[in-house]
Amino acid sequence: MSYDNENIFAKIIRGEFDCIKVYEDENTIAFMDIMPQADGHTLVIAKESAETLPDLSDAGAAACIKTVKKIVEAVKTAMGVSAATVMQLNGAGAGQSVPHIHFHVIPGSILGARPHAREMEDQDKLKGFAEKIITALG
């Protein structure tokens, strides 16, 4: 399967579509999920054009995990929780809704989370959570 350069995350990477960004480096971007499963739900995406984990280079995977680690700690601090769920839905059959590799960082347990990709959240509320996460990142 070939990579879809018109997916929403590819457009975010190119700056063609806005997101509520909390972190960016040369290989990754982290931003607020617009249909969060919990308050503070953050996505980490690779800038590399890859749909699933097997499509991602080893260097891209390492960069993603490095960023995921940073975001997990910042989300826990910002949202006042002791744990976070890290999830990666690998392919449409697993529930992946955007065909670009991404990791979900969800404050707390997935057991109490809202359903995946169901309801849009208020943008101002997301911006408030983003500010807390950015502050926690230092």
Indicate which residues carry an active-site annotation: 102
Which residue in the block uniquely carries the two structure tokens 């991404």? 102
Contacts of 78 (CB under 8 A, 6+ apart): 40, 129, 132, 133, 135, 136
Q: How far is residue 135 from each of residues 16, 69, 73, 105, 120, measured CA to CA in Å?
A: 26, 16, 12, 17, 24
* DSSP category for residue 113: P
